[in-house]
Amino acid sequence: MSAEVQEHSTGAPLKQVDSAIDDAPASPSESKTRHRRSSSTVSGVFNINDLEKEGVELKIALETQRLNWKVNSSPSTIEEKDALQKLLCHPPIKKIDLKFPLGLEVTARNNKGVTIKDACDAIYKQFKKKADDELESPYLAGFEWDREECYTKFIVHQKKTGDAPSSGGSKKKKGKGGDEA
C-alpha cells in the first residue's frame, strides 16, 4: 500500500483503491445522499419533533370520533373504510405515540404519513388478545392533542358503549383539539 500512496503523490494514476478509503464520504452532506432508505422519505411528511421546534399546530381528523370501533377487534371490521385511509392529523407526520389514560403507550408509524388505520392497527396490536369483559371501555372515542402536556403524543379516549350505526357520531370527548392559542 505504501507504493500506491507514493505513486499517487507523484501524480501517477492510482491503480488499486483501498475499499476502506473508497467508501468514506467526502462530506457529511454526501453521506446523506448515500443513505439506503432516502427513497422512502416523502416530501410534505414531517417528524413530530421538528414540528414541535417550529411550534406548528396539529389538527386531528374528526373521523376518528365516528369510527364506533372496538379496540380488541380488527380495524378491518370498521364500517367506514374511507375514513381508514385518511391522515390521522394535519400536517402529516411519520410517527406518533398514542397514550392511554392509565399509562400504556403505543406508536403508530408510516413514512408516507400516519393514517387512521395505522393508529387503529397499533392499538389493536395491544388489545387483540383481550376478551370483551377484560376491557372497561372497549370502544375508541377519539384522540386528543394537548400541546401543553406533551406535544409529541396523542391521548386516546375510550368509551363504554358503541354508538348505533345510524347515529351521526359523538363529539363529546374531544375538548382540546385545536382551539387553544
pTM of structure: 0.68
Mean model confidence pLDDT for the chain = 79
Check residues 23 and 45 and name the one with the higher pLDDT.
Answer: 45
Give the least confident one: 6-10, 41-45, 153-157: 6-10
Give the least confident one: 21-25, 53-57, 68-72, 85-89: 21-25
Give the least confident one: 9-18, 27-36, 64-73: 27-36
Residue 37 predicted with pLDDT over 70: no
Q: Give the rounded distance of the alpha carbon of 99 from its chain centre.
A: 13
pLDDT value, residue 75: 94
Enumerate the domain spans of the chain: 2-35, 48-159
Residue 41 predicted with pLDDT over 70: no
Sheet of 105-109: strands edge to edge? 105-109, 95-99, 153-159, 139-145
**Angstrom distance (rounded) from CA 93 to CA 83:** 17
Check residues 13 and 74 and name the one with the higher pLDDT.
Answer: 74
Residue 70 predicted with pLDDT over 50: yes
| Residue matched to cell numbers 390521522 | 88
Q: Name residues whose C-beta falls within 8 Å of residue 156's C-beta, 6 or more positions apart in sequence.
A: 98, 99, 100, 101, 123, 140, 143
Residue 175 predicted with pLDDT over 90: no
**Angstrom distance (rounded) from CA 154 to CA 97:** 6
pLDDT value, residue 157: 94
Which tens digits make up the pLDDT trace of 96-145? 999 998 889 999 999 999 999 999 999 999 999 998 888 888 999 999 99
